[in-house]
């Protein structure tokens, strides 16, 4: 019996949590929060939402990375098709961006909200928005590579 279906399920589930969460936050929550809330409650909302979301992203990153490596290594890294190498590289870039977001602008946002420094909080949130936008785009490219890559050669 092979564990490939379970590994693939775990991989896809992790991607759904991570990329789907970014899509919701970027496309749905962000514009509505900006339209309805002044900076203090908006920044407090984002600090709370991101705290919850980032907890799940750490889990998703671990699951996606572990399942992806397991799927690639089952036949050997050198034997994996090119699209899997591309997907792996894009995933590593996405992880690096996420780790940076968590430890730099999100940490700045949290400190600014605690201090009531709404200008600094707004700047940190703006940086998070840019990086999440980039990661969301990379997420869609990675999904495209993973789903149609095998047919491209």
Question: Tens digit of pLDDT for each residue in 64-93?
Answer: 999 999 999 998 999 999 999 999 999 999
What does the pLDDT look like over 2-54, one tens digit per residue? 889 999 999 999 999 999 999 999 999 999 999 999 999 999 999 999 999 99
Task: Using the predicted structure, report yes or no on whether residue 126 has a pLDDT greater than 90.
Answer: yes
Question: Per the structure block, which two tokens stand in for 138?
Answer: 């990379």
Give the closest residue to 65 by CA, choosing from 102, 94, 31: 94
For CA atoms 101, 102, 107, 110, give the dihedral sign. Answer: positive
* pLDDT for 75: 87
**Cα(17)–Cα(15) distance, integer angstroms:** 5
Q: Which one has a higher pLDDT value, 1 or 39?
A: 39
Q: Quick one: 127 exposed, middle or buried, by C-beta within 10 A (0-12, 13-18, 19+)?
A: middle
Would you tell me the crossing angle of helices 118-148 and 39-73 to the nearest 10 degrees? Answer: 30
* pLDDT for 150: 86
Task: Using the predicted structure, report yes or no on whether residue 1 has a pLDDT greater than 70.
Answer: no
Total-model pTM: 0.96
Say if residues 54 and 102 touch (Cβ distance below 8 Å): yes
What average pLDDT is seen over the chain?
Answer: 96
What does the pLDDT look like over 131-144, one tens digit per residue? 999 999 999 999 99
* pLDDT for 2: 83
């Amino acid at each position: 019996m092979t564990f490939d279906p379970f590994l693939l399920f775990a991989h896809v589930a992790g991607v759904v949590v991570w990329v789907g969460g970014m899509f919701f936050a970027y496309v749905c929550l962000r514009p509505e929060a900006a339209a309805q809330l002044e900076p203090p409650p908006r920044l407090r909302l984002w600090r709370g939402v991101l705290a919850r979301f980032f907890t799940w992203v750490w889990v998703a990153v671990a699951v996606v990375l572990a399942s992806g490596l397991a799927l690639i290594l089952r036949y050997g890294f050198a034997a994996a098709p090119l699209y899997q190498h591309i997907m792996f590289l894009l995933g590593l870039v996405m992880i690096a961006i996420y780790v940076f977001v968590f430890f730099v602008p999100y940490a700045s946002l949290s400190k600014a909200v605690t201090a009531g420094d709404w200008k600094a909080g707004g700047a940190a949130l703006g940086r998070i928005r840019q990086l999440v936008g980039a990661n969301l785009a990379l997420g869609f490219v990675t999904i495209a590579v993973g789903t149609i890559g095998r047919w491209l050669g």
